[in-house]
Amino acid sequence: MPEVRLVGPNGEQVGIVPIAKALELARESDLDLVEVAPTARPPVAKLMDYGKFKYESAMKAREARKNQAHTIIKEIKLRPKIDPHDYETKKGHVVRFLKAGDKVKVTIMFRGREQSRPELGFRLLQRLADDVEELGFVESRPKQDGRNMIMVLGPHKKKAEAKAERAASREQDAATGPA
């Protein structure tokens, strides 16, 4: 006669019982008999409300997805002959993206004769990487791709950490109130 190791609704061990008796116990307590470990000898079954179990596991999965952070790649485009003020503005954008925990793809577009001087673009990308060194690291080295030179910067902080930090600073600002 086939038997199962039965676990009660509160996690207590009932023992090894025939399947018919396990089904009868489930009917009496108005619960479902769910096979938990089919490969064990004898198989393990548990008395539980299966609908409630499925609902709770779906809610846990939804909560985990809600707290999950999506890494976004932001792109910034530069030219080799960039004005110092324009460079500072673009650098500010890169800093903002890295603080938010996003990756940044920096593209330098070469036009006409600029293509014969890729070292200008390389130096510009190196300068940018050095300027934002405390916030991010070079994930992929600068490389020429046709008329463009591309480099990817990754943040030191994970997206979730940056999100938590922003929330904490917002709470602190709310607690201190307007000045």
Instruction: Indicate the helix (H) or strand (E) that contains 120.
Output: helix 118-131
* Topology at the third CATH level for domain 3-50: Ubiquitin-like (UB roll) (3.10.20)
> Which pLDDT score is estimated for 176?
79
Residues carrying CATH 3.10.20.80, the chain: 3-50
In the chain, the N- to C-terminal Cα span, in Å, equals 78
> Which pLDDT score is estimated for 179?
55
Q: How far is CA 15 from the centre of its chain?
A: 42
Task: Please report which confidence band the pLDDT of residue 86 belongs to, taking 50, 70 and 90 as the band edges.
Answer: very high
> Which pLDDT score is estimated for 114?
87
Instruction: Name 22's bridge partners.
Output: none
Average pLDDT score over the chain = 87
Q: Which pLDDT tens digit goes with each residue over 145-169?
A: 889 999 999 888 777 777 777 777 7
Instruction: Indicate the helix (H) or strand (E) that contains 165.
Output: helix 159-176
Length of the chain counted residue by residue: 179
* Topology at the third CATH level for domain 73-161: Translation Initiation Factor IF3 (3.30.110)
Phi-psi category of residue 107: left, alpha or beta, with phi > 0 → left and psi -120 to 50 → alpha? beta
Residue 81 has pLDDT above 70, yes or no: yes
Residues carrying CATH 3.30.110.10, the chain: 73-161
Q: Which pLDDT tens digit goes with each residue over 15-67?
A: 899 999 999 988 988 999 998 888 988 899 999 999 998 999 999 998 888 77
Is the pTM higher than 0.85? The answer reads no
Residue 5 has pLDDT above 80, yes or no: yes
HSE value, Cβ hemisphere, 13 Å, CA-based, for 175: 6
